[in-house]
Amino acid sequence: MTTLPGDTILAMATMEYVASWASELNRGRFTIVRDDVGLDGLHDRGLQSVRALSPSLRRVMVMAAVDEPPPGPHIYRVRGALTVGSESGVSASLQGDRQLTLIRLPGSLVRGPCHSDGAVTIDEQQWTEVPGMSTTVTLRRPRDRVLLVYHADCHPAGFSYQAHFTILRHSDVGGTSNLGLSAEFGLERVSSDYAASSEYPVGILCDTPGSLGPHTYSFAARVVNTGVSSDATPVVVGYSGAITAIILPTR
């Protein structure tokens, strides 16, 4: 893709995968790169991490990121790697359909990407905003919509864990709203209960604030105790992560 000054690119990828392992010590890692530069940020930890406690389970992974390339021709690719414990013969295979989509966005409508300020430990059951992962928009018309794109990493501190992620909208009119399915669940859950799953929260959603603003969107996380434990296992979030707001004007 050849970009012009001020262009931003929404990059999205979906793939079906099957992991051969059954261990919490192994991970499959995937990312999108532009000219060999990972879109997840400086640490290059990848945009998605997959786990499996049972082999040969077929799952779908999703990656999404907003890129700010310099003007000129660029090549976008999807890459994968494995990090393993002491096992040998570990592999992950891609099966079925896979897709990489690039959408050019005019920079005048994009607020972000706003990257995390660094890793933070989430150890509370109340929603905690990740520093740096927030962006503010002001709309021209009350019926304008906002397309939100976010991604972050998640690193549990133990083998039994449950973490939830969401986006909070702070507005002068209406106060704070949780854009998730509910105030408790949020938008996404990462849990050790899943036999096979993707562990890095990622999402694209459309919001209609209903007023001109300003509206500030913040990425937040919380942990929940699992099993018979009275404590919630912490997770570390924010080695990489970003949130972007794209204004969708109406007439």
The list of the chain residues with pLDDT below 70 reads 42-43, 87-88, 227-230
Letter string b/e over residues 111-128, b meaning 16 or more CB atoms within 10 A of that residue's CB: bbbbbbeebbebeeeebb
Q: Which residues pair with 100 in a beta bridge?
A: 13
Strands (E), 84-194: 92-106, 110-115, 120-122, 128-137, 145-152, 155-156, 162-171, 175-178, 188-191
A 10 A CB-CB count for 224 gives 15
**Predicted local confidence at residue 87, as pLDDT:** 67
CA 58 from centroid of its chain's CA atoms: 21
Task: Express each pLDDT in 105-134 by its tens digit.
Answer: 999 999 999 999 999 999 999 999 999 999
User: What is the SS3 assignment for 203?
Assistant: strand
The CB-side HSE value for 17 (13 A sphere, CA atoms) comes to 27
**Predicted local confidence at residue 24, as pLDDT:** 87
**Predicted local confidence at residue 228, as pLDDT:** 62
**Predicted local confidence at residue 85, as pLDDT:** 76
Strands (E), 181-240: 188-191, 196-198, 202-207, 215-223, 235-237
Distance of alpha carbon 232 from alpha carbon 135, whole angstroms: 29
In the numeric block, which tokens belong to residue 95?
Answer: 């099966």
Contact 14, 108 (CB under 8 A): no
> Where are the domains positioned within the chain?
2-106, 109-248
Contact 44, 31 (CB under 8 A): yes
Distance of alpha carbon 27 from alpha carbon 48, whole angstroms: 10
Distance of alpha carbon 210 from alpha carbon 220, whole angstroms: 22
* Rg of the chain (C-alpha set): 18
- The correct CATH number of 109-248 out of 2.60.120.760, 3.40.190.170, 3.40.50.300, 3.20.20.80 is 2.60.120.760
Distance of alpha carbon 68 from alpha carbon 203, whole angstroms: 19
DSSP code for 234: P
